[in-house]
């Protein structure tokens, strides 16, 4: 009890560092990259200042820059020229992500992990994460699995190190695991977006990926922000189906979920610090309302403190410089 106990004694200078409980390392970070088939030079995403879409011709150069900062991994998103009802340009051998993987691997080999987003929403004309029954407007779960299998196998074949299915389609992890194994990719891990919420914080991403839904929304596949036990059920299913790493998304408004997943399952856990989280900090900093560097550190350390092993974040490059 006070006055014998004084917690302020440990808060000064080097002592403060000595008793620090959580550390942030560049090794924890994953930088997302958008690759756009339609552009010739990098284009800044207007709602995400400092984040660019890259043409195929420059993706390897960007990946090299990321790798040289010490960041171990990138997460690739493709923006295709051609979209249709079935997302057919998502699984071809020479489609945008498959090409990007090849170019990055040709340049960097094992120096950088290439993780790929496996979902249909960037490739469908209606923007949904699967095949839609055009009469009922329902997402056809099981038919969608067939496309997801093709996407995942095509990414692995192009050289992806990890595939990350993000559509919250029931059975997606099991289906993809089976397809990868059948094609000889039993060593390619699955990083599953197991607890992905139906969030307003994906807005800037959808501008970037041109993946807004032309009707309806993603509430039949993405989770209700009010639910926590449901996230645990989702994670349990994905683990049973063979997921190697679990993603909770978004990160900051769902730190309780990150904590529960890490403590209840004890498996490698990633948190996705999404586009809207990035943009709101950037906007406040641009107005001089926040100290940008300190706020970035505080965002990321809070995600680590909650239990994340991996942080997927648009701040990865900034953070790598701050940590240096």
The residues that are catalytic are 196, 249
The least distance separating ligand PBG from the CB of residue 106, rounded to whole angstroms, comes to 25
Q: How many residues bind ligand PBG (CB under 6 A)?
A: 13
Binding residue for ligand PBG (CB under 6 A) from 29, 56, 59, 119? 119
Q: Is 121 in the site for ligand PBG (CB under 6 A)?
A: yes
The least distance separating ligand PBG from the CB of residue 249, rounded to whole angstroms, comes to 7
By beta-carbon proximity to ligand PBG, the closer residue of 121 and 271 is 121
Q: How far does the chain reach from its first CA to its final CA, in angstroms?
A: 40
Rounded Cα distance between 19 and 42, Å, is 44
The least distance separating ligand PBG from the CB of residue 237, rounded to whole angstroms, comes to 18
Q: Is 313 in the site for ligand PBG (CB under 6 A)?
A: no
The least distance separating ligand PBG from the CB of residue 212, rounded to whole angstroms, comes to 8
By beta-carbon proximity to ligand PBG, the closer residue of 62 and 117 is 117
The least distance separating ligand PBG from the CB of residue 2, rounded to whole angstroms, comes to 46
Tell which positions 264-283 bind ligand PBG, by CB under 6 A: 274-275
User: 67 vs 73, 103, 156, 245, CA distance in Å?
Assistant: 8, 14, 20, 22
Binding residue for ligand PBG (CB under 6 A) from 35, 108, 129, 139? 129
Which residue's Cβ has the minimum distance to ligand PBG?
205
Rounded Cα distance between 222 and 199, Å, is 8
Q: Which residues lie below 8 Å from residue 77, measured CB to CB, with a gap of 6+?
A: 32, 33, 34, 35, 97, 117, 122, 208, 209
State how far Cα 4 lies from the chain centre.
Answer: 47
The answer to whether the CB of 77 falls within 8 A of the CB of 119 is: no
Instruction: Tell me the backbone φ, ψ of residue 296, rounded to 5 degrees.
Output: -60, -50
By beta-carbon proximity to ligand PBG, the closer residue of 71 and 121 is 121
Binding mask 53-92 for ligand PBG (x = CB under 6 A): ----------------------------------------
Cβ neighbours, 10 Å, residue 302: 18
Rounded Cα distance between 246 and 264, Å, is 12
Tell which positions 194-253 bind ligand PBG, by CB under 6 A: 202, 205-206, 211, 218
Alpha helices for the chain (secondary structure H):
13-18, 56-68, 96-108, 141-158, 172-182, 203-209, 229-241, 255-265, 275-286, 292-306, 316-323
Q: What angle do CA 77, 80, 83 make, to 5 degrees?
A: 120
Rounded Cα distance between 170 and 281, Å, is 33
By beta-carbon proximity to ligand PBG, the closer residue of 57 and 125 is 125
Rounded Cα distance between 272 and 282, Å, is 17
By beta-carbon proximity to ligand PBG, the closer residue of 36 and 117 is 117
The least distance separating ligand PBG from the CB of residue 125, rounded to whole angstroms, comes to 16
Q: Is 167 in the site for ligand PBG (CB under 6 A)?
A: yes
Which region, judged by CB under 6 A, interacts with ligand PBG, from 86-94, 104-112, 114-122, 177-185?
A: 114-122
The residues binding ligand PBG (CB under 6 A) are: 117, 119, 121, 129, 166-167, 202, 205-206, 211, 218, 274-275
């Amino acid at each position: 009890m006070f006055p014998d106990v004084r917690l302020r004694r440990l808060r000064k200078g080097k002592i403060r560092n000595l008793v620090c409980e959580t550390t942030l390392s560049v090794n924890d970070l994953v930088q997302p990259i958008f690759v756009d088939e339609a552009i010739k030079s990098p284009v800044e995403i207007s709602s995400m200042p400092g984040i660019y879409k890259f043409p195929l011709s420059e993706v390897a150069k960007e990946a090299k820059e990321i790798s040289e900062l010490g960041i171990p991994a990138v997460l690739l998103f493709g923006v295709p020229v051609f979209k249709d009802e079935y997302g057919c340009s998502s699984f071809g051998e020479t489609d945008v992500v498959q090409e990007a993987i090849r170019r990055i691997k040709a340049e960097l080999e094992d120096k950088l992990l290439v993780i790929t987003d496996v979902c249909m929403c960037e490739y469908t004309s209606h923007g949904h994460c699967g095949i839609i029954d055009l009469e009922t407007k329902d997402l056809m779960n099981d038919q969608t699995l067939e496309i997801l299998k093709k996407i995942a196998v095509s990414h692995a074949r192009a050289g992806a190190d990890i595939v990350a299915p993000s559509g919250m389609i029931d059975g997606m992890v099991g289906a993809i695991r089976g397809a990868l194994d059948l094609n000889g990719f039993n060593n390619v891990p699955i990083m599953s977006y197991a607890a992905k919420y139906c969030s307003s914080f994906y807005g800037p991403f959808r501008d970037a990926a041109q993946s807004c839904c032309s009707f309806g929304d993603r509430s039949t596949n993405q989770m209700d922000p009010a639910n926590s036990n449901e996230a645990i059920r989702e994670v349990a299913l994905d683990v049973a189906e063979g997921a190697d790493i679990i993603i909770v998304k978004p990160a900051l408004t769902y730190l309780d979920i990150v904590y529960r997943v890490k403590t209840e399952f004890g498996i490698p856990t990633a948190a996705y610090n999404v586009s809207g989280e990035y943009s709101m900090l950037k906007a406040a900093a641009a107005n001089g309302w926040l100290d940008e560097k300190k706020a970035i550190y505080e965002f990321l350390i809070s995600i680590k403190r909650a239990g994340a092993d991996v942080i997927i974040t648009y701040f990865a490059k900034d953070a790598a410089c701050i940590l240096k």
